[in-house]
Structures are given as structure tokens and as C-alpha cells.
Structure 1
Amino acid sequence: MKKRTLAFLVATTLLGGLIGCAPLTVINALTTSRSYDKKADIAFGNDPRQQLDVYTPHNLSGLAPVIVFFYGGSWNSGNRGDYAFVGEALASRGIVAVVADYRLYPQVRYPDFIDDAALAVAWTLKDIHRFGGDPKRIFVMGHSAGAYNAAMVALDPRWLGKLDLKTGVLRGWIGLAGPYDFIPIENLDVRPVFFYPATPPESQPINHVMASAPPALLIASHDDKVVNPLRNTAGMANKLRASGVEVTELYFDKTSHASLIATMAWPLRGLAPLLDNVEQFVKSDGGREKYARQEK
């Protein structure tokens, strides 16, 4: 009964759009640790913010697919420890989860946090086999600002290219309520991050779509008052399709910008099948297996 009451309080708070430190703390308190082994505080760079945690599913038989996850927070806030529920959710579905921090404003501005995201991917490619992950099945995923980071790493070859890697090392990318086309910038917290009003056009993920991009799963809430889903999620999906890139585009009715990522946690999974869709995308190799079956 206590857990049910806490779950109700969490749901009520998040549906009000107030996803902050306290609600995330409650979610993590309700999250089991029985589905994974966790290795924390792994450095992928020299800065204290360049660290990650790895969640490996219990009882693996062979190497598992991998998701590198980046959280949101307008590039101003966030901590990987607040997203243990994401690591647990993915591990519970047989996916190795890498939850990475990255440097934030005012320590850095665009594009330094993208460099951090690329470094986290490079570390994953090199070392994830030691944690049960398959380096040939790596996906990047993010929510809000984290979805931007994931999109830029997957679409713009500059960032992995600095590390002598190509975007083709990724099997796909997953964007949850991501900002992909946001000039002119309306969010006052985000403006200094991107040098407003002189925001460079190359900072926009939608400007880097190419036919060689990996498959995408794009998910948003119809009732998103923070990141316009029509301009960003639908606009990105249309641009990808026009370039011949496979994309799955989904919208949910019972979530907001904030509560979308929270539906990864077990108390809120009834609000939207987000975790189911992520699992399906990853385990179908970014949709490749699904389309291969259809062509036979």
C-alpha cells in the first residue's frame, strides 16, 4: 500500500509537469535493483562531469544490445544518478544501459557537450564488451536536451569524426521530446548556451540529415508545452523520410514533456508504452529485422 501511495504521488507530481530532483528521487526510491549489476563512476574523460554508469542485465547469455542515454535539463542541469530508473528499465528488458553525464553551462557552451556525448560513445565502443554489451549493437538515446545530444552524435559526422569514428558505428538513435529545430531560441535558459542571438545554424540537428543516417525512433507527447512536437519531432521525422532514412514516429496522449521520460519507471509505465517501443526498436536492430521480414 505504501508503494502504491508513493506511486500515485509521483504520477500526480509529474503529470503536473514538475519533474525535478525530488520527484526523481522518489522514482529511484521505488525502482528495484534486482534486474541489473551496476558499475558506477567510470571516467570517459578528464573532467569530473565526464563520467558514466553502466547497468548490465542479470543472467545475460551472450552480448546484449546497448543504449547510451543522455538526460535533459536545458544543458544547464542534470546528473546521471537521478536516472537510475532509466538504467533499471533498460536492463529489465535485456539491454545494457550506459547513463552518461556531460559538461553543462556555464562551464561550457555549444558544442562542448556534444564532444562529451561523442566521447561517451567512443568509450562504449571500446569498453562495453567488458560489461556484457555488444559493441556492434550500440544505440544512442536522449530526452529533451539529451535527445539533442544523441541526434547530433548520430547525424553530424563532425563529433565522432574527431575521434576517428563514423556515425555508421551506431545502429540507431532514439529521440524523446527532442529539440531539433529551435532557432530563434525562445527558452531564456538556453539562449546563452547557444550564443543567442548569433546562434549558428549548424547547431541545429535538422540541418545534418543525410541518407547515410542511422534509423531513428522519435517519440513525443501531444501535450508538450516545452518543445514543440510538430516543429521538432514531426519536422525531423519528415526530413529523415525525405532523405530515405527509416524512422518510426510516435506521439502519446497521457504524458507531458517532463513525464514522458518518467514513464520508463514502473509506477508510470501504464501512461505510455515508451519502454515497449524502445525495446522493440533496439531488438529489431533499429527496425532492420522488421523490414527484412516484410520483404521476404
Structure 2
Amino acid sequence: MRRRRIRRNKKEKTPFLSKPSSKRRRKVANDDDSLHPTRQQSFTEDVGHAAAETYLITRLAFKLLRYLGLGYKWIVRFFALSCYAVLLMPGFLQVGYYYYTSSQIRRSIVYGDQPRNRLDLYVPLKSDELKPVVAFVTGGAWIIGYKAWGSLLGLQLADRDIIVACIDYRNFPQATISDMVNDASQGISFVCNKISEYGGDPNRIYIMGQSAGAHIASCAIIDQAIKECGEGESTSWSVSQIKAYFGLSGGYNLLSLVDHFHERGLYRSIFLSIMEGNESLGRFSPEVVVQDPRFKSAVSLLPPVVLFHGTADYSIPSDSSKNFADALQRVGARAELVLYEGKTHTDLFIQDPLRGGTDDLVKDIISLIHAGDEAALAKDAVVTPRRRLVPEFMVKLARKISPF
């Protein structure tokens, strides 16, 4: 399948993600204790935490069933999701094993005082200098998001000397959208203020979100910019610390998506409960907020925005990213749109990484983060391609039955 790239920064002939200053780099100690002040949790602690989360998720699942009722659409999609997971299980098991055994992953670091205020860190093996950092917010239809969903991305970027912080957050019905945005903002704050203790460069932090996570992360950035323009607002991080925002397959105008989601099984009543009512849809629609004249000064603070989307995405149409990029461009923000021809909602984030080899999305993200860094780009060119985790016929079959 061919990839189609559309740039929205027509006035700029060079990438707007400039080369990081050499002054921002410094050597860090090779001593493991000084680089990672908190050791990897013991197996016993992991089991205990997993059991607690299993109990919480089970309790919330029954609560969610009361909202869903017996609608046939979500039942059909749940069955399709189960079949999809079974087909890709060989890959998921391998990634899961690595997730629980790799010394590269610092699991369940606490960043706040609310349930699920935890994040996973994917750290490169070599710690010779401070690394760029991606703070990643996973998707999951605002209902089934979980930090481990970012494992495939985290492992690939860690192989390219990039630290990834996968931020967990409370899902519905445990929380609603304002809680999710607050959780994501707290996780970003932790990364901005603490990442140097784990070998990350506080001057090279990128925020990324996928699907619902892209929506939540974009809301968090815009909300932070608005706070910084207000009087007397107390903030623990600043949008000026963020080099760029990467949005993957996100929805940024809820007013135009509510009917689409309803037809696909995320019923209007549930969606409005997640979004705190019909009157809040505009407030939590980044595309709408950036065009509000009241927030003009806040928009000027936003970092460069790069939106990635597959043209065959039927969960969230690619027009969602296109319209958001256009809106940002109209109000003077820096924005770029990258479209992948024929790619679905799950191709870019799940199927392609499980195939191994060259991953167009990861390749594009790395080229943006390492832009202008000749040494890093040269190292990227000789990295051994990742091996295939699932046979191709199973990947293709899973793609056909994917409910997303």
C-alpha cells in the first residue's frame, strides 16, 4: 500500500522541528542506580498490582454493562474484537512476555494520587547521553485504554534511542473526559519534571496520542495553553517544554463525530455520558476551541502539530485530522498532515508493527524527532529491522474482521 504525504506548512521549505542544540546534551552517569532511582519492581509486586487492576477492571466492566444494555451493535463488535485478538495472539504473547521480563521497561511508575495514575517507561539500552522523550497517551474509545497498549510503539522507539512514557489514565465509567484530560496532564507534568532522572532530555519532549488518546492529549495541551494565558493559574508544566505534538488517527471535533460513533456502536447516550453532556462537546473539541477568538493568545503558544491518519480508517475518518490541520493553519498554528493511503485504524498501530520490517509510521516519527541530528539519522539507517511476530495470513484475516 502506498503512502501519501500532505504537508500543511507550505511557507516552510525545511522541517519545522529544528535540530536540538548541542548545549542541551550532556553525559549522564553509567551507574544504573543513579540513572534509574527506582529499580524494576519485583515479580511479586507486579502480580499483586496486576491482581488489583484485574479486580478493578472486572468491577468496572459490570458497571459498564449497565450503560450498554443489550445493544446488538456493541455485542457484534465485542465478538469481532475477540476473534481479532485471537488471530493476533501469537504476537501479543511475545510482546507481553517482553513487557514483563525486559529490563528496558520500568513499569507502573506512579505519577499522581488517583487510581491508574501510573506510566510505563521504555528506556534505550545505551545511556551515554540524554535521550529525546515521547509522552504517549493510548487509545481505547475512552473505555478500554491501558498503558500496555503502547508496547509495540515503545519498544520500536526505544530501539532508536528514544525514551517512551506510556501514560495510563482512568477510563469510563470510572471517570469522564475531564478526569481523563487531567490524568493525561498530570502524566505529562511528571515527564516534564522528572524524566531527566531516567536519562531523558527535558528539552526534547514530544507528546503523542492514538485514537481516543490523541483526542485526550490534544485537549490536555490546549487546556494547558489556556491556563498559561490566564491570571493566577497554577501550572506544573508548560507547553513551551513540548517540541511537537503527534496525533495518530484522532478525532478532534466531537460535534461532527457523535452521530458517526453512534452508527458504529458507541451509542449517543454512552458517548454523551463520557463527554459530560451535549453541552460539553464543543468544549472538548480541539478543532472548535482553537478557532474560538477568546483563545487566540493560547493558540499562539501551541507547539508544532503533526497529524497522522490512514485514508481507509472507518473508525475515525481521516477527514477528522485533515479538518483539524486546516483549522490550525487558519489560526496561524504550525501544522502538518501525513496521510497513509489504504491504511485502516489498526493498520498503523497494530498490524504493521506485528509484520516486522520497515514501519512507515515509526519511520516518519523518528525522522521528525531526529531531524537535523546527522549522527542519530546515520544510526537509524543501520538499525536491524524488527522481526515478524505474526504470519501474514493471520494479519490479513485479523484486518478484515477488526471492529475498529
TM-score class, shorter: 0.7 to 0.9
Mapped to 2, the partners of 1:82 and 1:22 lie a distance apart of 16
Instruction: For residue 175 of structure 1, give the secondary structure of its aligned residue in structure 2.
Output: strand
Q: Cα gap change, 1:23/1:242 in structure 2, threshold over 3 Å: closer, same or farther?
A: farther
Alignment of 1:1-296 (within 5 A): 18=81, 22=86, 26-31=90-95, 37-156=104-223, 157-158=225-226, 162-184=234-256, 185-186=258-259, 187=261, 188=267, 189-209=270-290, 210-230=299-319, 232-262=320-350, 265-267=353-355, 270=358, 273-284=360-371
More strand by share: 1
The answer to whether the 8 Å contact 1:72/1:146 transfers is yes
Aligned residue identity for 2:108 = D
Cα distance, 1:260 vs structure 2: 2.0
How many correspondences in the alignment? 267
CA 1:132 to 1:154, structure 2 compared with 1: closer, same or farther past 3 Å? same
- Give the structure-1-normalised TM-score: 0.81
Residue 18 of structure 1 contacts residue 258 of structure 1 at CA under 8 Å; is this kept in 2? no
In structure 2, the residue corresponding to 1:152 is in which secondary structure? helix
Q: Which has the higher helix share?
A: 2
1:118–1:159 Cα contact (<8 Å) kept:
no
Aligned-pair distance for 1:106?
Answer: 0.8
Contact 1:28 1:82 in 2 (8 A): no
Question: Cα distance, 1:264 vs. partner?
Answer: 6.2
Whether the 8 Å CA contact 1:128–1:135 is kept in 2: the answer is: yes
Does the CA contact (< 8 Å) of 2:252 and 2:324 recur in 1?
Answer: yes
For 2:340, the aligned partner's letter is: F
Question: Contact 1:68–1:140 at 8 Å: present in 2 too?
Answer: yes
Q: TM-score, normalised by structure 2?
A: 0.61
Measured against aligned partners, the alpha-carbon deviations of 1:77-96 in whole angstroms (never above 9, x if no partner) come to 12212332121011011110
Percent identity, please: 24
Give 1:163 shift.
2.8
Q: CA deviation at 1:24?
A: 6.6
Structure 1: tracts of 5 or more residues without a match = 1-16, 286-296
User: 1-side partners of 2:89 and 2:148: how far apart?
Assistant: 9
Structure ranking higher on relative contact order (CA contacts 8 Å, 6+ apart):
2
Structure number with greater Rg is: 2
Q: In the aligned structure 1, how far is the partner of 2:332 from the partner of 2:211?
A: 25
Once the two structures are superposed, residues 166-191 of structure 1 have per-residue CA deviations (whole angstroms, 9 ceiling, x without a partner) of: 22121110000101012151222433
Q: CA RMSD in A?
A: 2.6
Query: Counterparts of 1:60 and 1:163 in 2: how far apart (Å)?
Result: 30
